[in-house]
């Protein structure tokens, strides 16, 4: 796969060369369907192929198929274990690397609170993908892997040692045989153990890991190894910690190629361009605050899994099926159009079936839009086949109301980041 980085001729007087590259790289890109500009000017295709739970063999074929159908956005992650297959699928498509928007994410297992290992993990992802740069690189999870998210109990652990009835005082359990021999005598030794530093709290471990991971993302961005950077599964509390109070960061997203600079309050020097979170109608009541918060701070929301992992509680819901019949489209297309056109989210549906990929893609493009590909391309054919339709405000309100339906038994399909402590 070609790995040539995009070039730019934007004057350094306005922004740095690396930031200028991030702004103008899409000028030569072929992006089928609609694109949305991030806060730094980089255009992200409105629909991407999600690669979660795809085997390497499935992933390679699915990526090549999707790109042949007109997709220009592929979403993977180190934890998915299919980055190499994504790179091979892009190569199989014969498309120029500049024409494909590739996202990957930092594996929580590499989220160790140490900059060198985080940076090495990002470079390893680039190597597996067979490319020199990410179009978007995300911190996958707001916590370190392997650390319990619940605070430790304050109750001291029970000792396995029994008290010596012949001793006048009770000291800490002996650590060596020699100490044990002394302890069993009629003498009580003087404690010589040096005082140790208090163990850091779980919340502070996660907080330090978030700071370090974001510093690595900023480094990748400044070095031109990532055209845009962001986070995934971050709640409002995690973003407030990162950005500071909203009033302190009014300059974010305005003017500079980084999408704004930090004024005060948080640890981010460059604000995130994206927050990838779980969004679909079943969970909208819970996720609405974070969606509106991100939009108020010019952070693009990427919605996964926008079809609620094909849940029948969504796709067979009477509101969704009724609107699908009314507009002559499928239930999946109704859900995708709701998220994209009315909640202003980039959508990342996952499928390995060509007919589903085509159906999902068609939900996100207009019959009136013109594809930049040639008129004989698959993307152009798909565009021409789409019937122009829109959801009315009453349609959108009806879909919003699904989140309050008491008959829904499962609303969250994936991880729950609200369990990650801040304090």
Q: What is the pLDDT of residues 305-363, one digit of tens each?
A: 999 999 999 999 999 999 999 999 999 999 999 999 899 999 999 999 999 999 999 99
Closest CA to 19 of 286, 246, 269, 303: 269
- Across 213-234, average pLDDT: 98
Does residue 187 have a pLDDT over 60?
A: no
Structure tokens at 372: 């930049």
β pairing state of 49-50 and 43-45? unpaired
pLDDT tens-digit map of 241-269: 999 987 544 444 433 445 544 445 799 99
Average pLDDT, the chain: 81
Average pLDDT over residues 82-105: 98
By C-alpha distance, which of 319, 277, 338 is closest to 138? 277
Residue 274 · residue 138 · CB < 8 Å: yes
Burial class (CB in 10 A: 0-12, 13-18, 19+), 162: exposed
Phi, psi of 10 (to 5 degrees): -65, 140
Beta bridge partners of 301: 275
| Residue 385, pLDDT score | 53
Confidence of residue 277 (pLDDT cuts 50, 70, 90): very high
| Residue 340 CB-density burial (10 A; 0-12 exposed, 13-18 middle, 19+ buried) | buried
Q: For the residues 77-101, what does the mean pLDDT come to?
A: 98
pTM reported for the whole predicted model = 0.78
Task: Say what the pLDDT of residue 245 is.
Answer: 80
Strand 43-45 and strand 35-37: the pairing is: antiparallel
Task: Grade residue 302 by pLDDT with cuts at 50, 70 and 90.
Answer: very high
3-class secondary-structure state, position 320: helix
- pLDDT score at 374: 41
Decide: helix, strand or coil at residue 206: helix
Band (pLDDT 50/70/90 cuts) for residue 148 is low
Residue 423's pLDDT band (cuts 50, 70, 90) = confident
Query: pLDDT confidence of 24, banded at 50, 70, 90?
Result: very low
- Say if residues 82 and 55 touch (Cβ distance below 8 Å): yes
Which pLDDT belongs to residue 160? Answer: 54
Mind listing the pLDDT tens digit for each residue in 196-211?
A: 555 678 888 899 999 9
Given the residues 52, 71, 80, 234, select the one marked as catalytic.
Answer: 80
| Catalytic residue flag (residue 119) | no
* Confidence bin at 102 (pLDDT 50/70/90): very high
Angle (CA) 130 309 60, round 5°: 25
Per-residue pLDDT reduced to its tens digit, 59-74? 999 999 999 999 999 9
The residue ranges of every structural domain in the chain are: 29-149+203-419
How many residues belong to the chain?
423
Which one, of 294, 327, 297, 296, lies nearest residue 399 by Cα?
Answer: 327
Label residue 388 by pLDDT band (50, 70, 90).
confident
Q: What is the mean pLDDT of residues 156-165?
A: 55
Burial class of residue 246, CB neighbours in 10 A (0-12, 13-18, 19+): middle
- pLDDT of 178 above 70: no
**Is 29-149+203-419 a CATH 3.50.50.60 domain?**
no
């Amino acid at each position: 796969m070609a790995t040539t980085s995009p070039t730019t001729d934007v004057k350094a007087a306005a922004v740095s060369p690396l930031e200028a590259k991030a702004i103008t790289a899409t000028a030569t890109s072929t992006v089928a369907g609609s694109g949305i500009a991030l806060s730094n000017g980089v255009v992200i295709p409105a629909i991407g192929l999600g690669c979660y739970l795809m085997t390497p063999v499935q992933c390679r074929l699915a990526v090549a198929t999707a790109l042949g159908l007109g997709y220009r956005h592929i979403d993977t992650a180190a934890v998915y274990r299919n980055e190499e297959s994504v790179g091979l699928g892009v190569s199989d498509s014969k498309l120029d690397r500049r024409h494909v928007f590739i996202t990957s994410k930092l594996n929580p297992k590499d989220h160790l609170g140490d900059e060198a290992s985080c940076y090495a993990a990002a470079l390893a992802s680039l190597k597996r993908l067979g490319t020199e740069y990410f179009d978007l690189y995300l911190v996958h999870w707001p916590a370190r892997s392997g650390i319990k998210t619940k605070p430790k109990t304050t109750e001291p652990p029970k000792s396995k040692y029994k008290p010596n009835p012949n001793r006048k005082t009770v000291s800490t359990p002996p650590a060596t045989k020699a100490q044990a021999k002394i302890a069993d005598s009629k003498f009580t030794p003087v404690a010589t153990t040096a005082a140790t530093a208090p163990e850091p709290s779980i919340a502070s471990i996660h907080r330090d890991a978030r700071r370090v991971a974001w510093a690595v993302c900023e480094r990748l961005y400044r070095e031109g190894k990532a055209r845009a950077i962001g986070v995934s599964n971050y709640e409002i509390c995690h973003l407030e910690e990162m950005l500071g109070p909203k009033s302190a960061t009014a300059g974010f997203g305005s003017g500079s190629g980084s999408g704004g600079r930090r004024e005060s309050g948080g640890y981010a020097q460059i604000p995130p361009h994206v927050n990838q979170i779980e969004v679909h109608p079943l969970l909208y009541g819970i996720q609405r605050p974070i969606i509106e918060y991100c939009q108020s701070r010019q952070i693009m929301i990427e919605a996964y899994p926008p079809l609620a992992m094909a849940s029948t509680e969504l796709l067979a819901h009477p509101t969704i099926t009724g609107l699908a019949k009314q507009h002559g489209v499928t239930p999946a297309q109704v859900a995708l159009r709701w998220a994209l056109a009315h909640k202003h989210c980039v959508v990342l549906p996952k499928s390995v079936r060509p007919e589903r990929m085509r159906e999902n893609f068609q939900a996100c493009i207009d019959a009136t839009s013109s594809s930049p590909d040639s008129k004989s391309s698959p993307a152009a054919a798909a565009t021409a086949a789409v019937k122009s339709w829109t959801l009315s405000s009453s349609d959108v309100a009806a879909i919003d109301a699904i989140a309050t339906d008491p008959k829904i038994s499962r609303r969250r399909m994936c991880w729950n980041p609200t369990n990650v402590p801040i304090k």
